[in-house]
A and B are shown apart, each in its own frame.
Chain A
Amino acid sequence: MKTRRDFINTSMMGMAATWTLPAFLNSTIFGLDCHAADSAIQVATGKDGPILVVLQMGGGNDGLSMVVPFADDAYYRLRPQLALAKDAVLPLDDYAGFHPNMTGMKGLFDNGDAALIHGVGYPNPNRSHFRSMEIWHTASDSDKNEHYGWIGRYFDSACQGQPPTIGVNIGSMPPQAFLGPKPMGISMASPGRYKLIEPGDIAVADARDGQMTPMMADSDNIAGSNSGSSVGDLGAAPKANDGTSNLQFLERTAFDAELSSQDIQRIVAAHQPKTPYPATKLGEDLKLIGQLIAGGLPTRIYYANLGGFDTHANQKPAHDRLMKEFSDAMAAFVADLKEQGNFSRVLAMTFSEFGRRVAQNGSGGTDHGAAGPMFLVGGGIKPGIHSKHPSLTDLNNGDLKFQVDFRNVYATVLDQWLKVDSTPVMKRKFAALDLLKSSSPA
């Protein structure tokens, strides 16, 4: 069995040694007592073990425009301009159907690859983006403040001694969900720049880095232009209560960055998907995750974010596009995983910090609400619809009442998919729901 130190040494050998790296890394690594513990680890796990992909829909997704209660008169009454026509939605049963742009998701649903949970939320919902996001990330009660994220607590309790890529966040800063007493996981905005560039090296940019226009950097990067992303990209990193100095923390992050960038560059270069992905942000992100899965990165949890859901005004065009982006990317991801033979070991889970008001507002949009739908996609799910749609007339301050507490979903995923005891991670017992096949994962 390999030890952490063996792992580090062998990985070091494989690195392209440039003049910066030996000096830079050697001294970095030897200063790393906190990280280089001699614990046994799994090296490049390859095709074993379950994988969870968390997809965050930042800004508050309008669940009623995603899963449309077309048989409910109240829906048409409360949404005179925004309601989607009954004959346009893609029916799931005699009450609700998908947004017309969600043909990809409809295919997955019909094929038994996707499950839907209506009306997921939590008691005493908070309508602030930040607070509600924090609640979903930390899985705390809405009146309690918890610093660490549920994924961070999972890493802490079940993944000690694992390589940094145990958690991979596609984005610049780790989500609060990743925060733990001993922070683990890496953040990567884009693989093209996720490595130390060499002097004069301008040929490193990959396709997604290579095509966009430079002038956006300055004069257009300004007020009002990034409304969705500013709430979607909530970053949070550890506080200094893990017993390490700031220098140790920096050394470890530098080390994690180096090590993971080497692995990721190698994998991304070697594994091109055989099936197409849409050329959207989420399409690119899921494609990258697909490549990393194909390459056997020993990752338990991937985290991706689709922003722009804060649709207070003129909602329709923006939300229509987001539905298409989400659905097309997810369908492409599933096709890729099936082609790879990895579909049975991947579970994708979507969430948003809240749904939106049942009644539309005066600006052709919707304001912050409460409960919303969650999707589970993967080879191990029990397909179909897993709860009752919340009433559109029996409301809580104009918002849907939640049918399912998201923490029961998390607990189910922890207990039955990641196969760890959810109680210490969730800090109390949340009953598991009947969402997954008992034999899963492969």
Chain B
Amino acid sequence: MTYIPISPNEREAMLKTIGVQTLDDLFQDVPEKYRFPKLDLPPALTEMEAAQYLQELASLNETVHGDLISFLGAGMYNHYIPAVVDHILRRGEFYTAYTPYQPEISQGTLQAIFEYQSLMCALTGMEVSNASHYDGATAAAEAINMAYAVFRGKRKKVVISPTVHPQYRAVIRTYTQGMELELAGDDARADLEAAPEFLTNHIDANTLLAIVQYPDFFGRIYDYTKLIEEAHGKGALVCVVANPIALAILKTPGEMGADIVVGEGQPLGIPMWFGGPSLGFFTTRKTYVHKMAGRLVGETVDNRGQRAYVLTLTAREQHIKRERATSNICTNQGLMALASAVYLSVMGRAGLRQVAELCYHKAHYAAEILSQIPGYGLCFSDPFFHEFSLCCPKPVAEINAHLLEHGILGGYDLSQDYPSLPNHMLIAVTEMNTKEEIDLLAEILAEVNHD
């Protein structure tokens, strides 16, 4: 085979085979004026000129690496990524997002996925993890697909806490279109200060799944044990959307009795980039493994008795089970899952705990000093992890514009999603934020109030 397959000879042969005279004959259904529109392009650049031009464009970006101090979170977080994560990720042996089907040539990748699954189970307190989904929002939507399959479509209601990430709730609504499900619990007038157990009022014998977030969208920490017990009493399953960093110091959703734990894996060694690619993790109980979507790697022994890894329980997936499968998604974020597996292995239990503790303490320091500024205050009194809602004296958009002038990326404007929270800013603090940065934020926020 020649390297360039379409030589004039081959083109001729192909046209002859399909019985066409010229290439143009293939396009005769396209009106002539649309066939080759004139493109108004600037003169061609040399490689060197193009590289310089792109470099100039790239330098216009402002990033959190030196340009901006970030207090923006709301689902994506600025954490330190050890250099080894990128180093391992970019090794030629690993540098593909494809799932390996052939165990005889893919032991390294398969083992990495197996380790990822094991780490996710340890972190969430669950029994089985798939090889990942696109992001936290789609993983949450897949939880509904799974619960729907567990009840074989006989239950039709999903109860969602209003404090689940608004974008996750939007993705869930897109995903479940056409499934004829009733989604309840998160209407705009819902009481955002109610204890999690208030969701129980919505859970009935027709409910397939209740979804809560941990810590919730406002950063608040609740023990969902009682809610889960009550949901189980009605026969419903419960999905907890969790922040993986927080799980290093909190009671795991597994310990609370959750049936499904999903979340955004980005905090585990994946840059924020411009919002992706990221990583959706999905863990559940062994009872439900046959209803779980996505790839699954298992450990076994080969014909010489050596430890080996293979894709397992594949017959439940859509390429075999077709329309009877739980989901039409079996794509994973293999490379991002690898990044988080490397991150977790490098950090270890103690390292991850330290990251979580730094986030917790710095966020609490920030909350303490920011809430003392005249005109500002904490909106909720519940325990929180590394994010909190700050009531501000002015609209958040206005304050953020002012902060940006001082090189600070302010918090998330909660009024976008919660009309009942005007002038409320969701502030995220991670181990990356120094005391000086927090003090600077306080200083500028005080200025804003005096303006």
- Chains A and B belong together in one complex: no
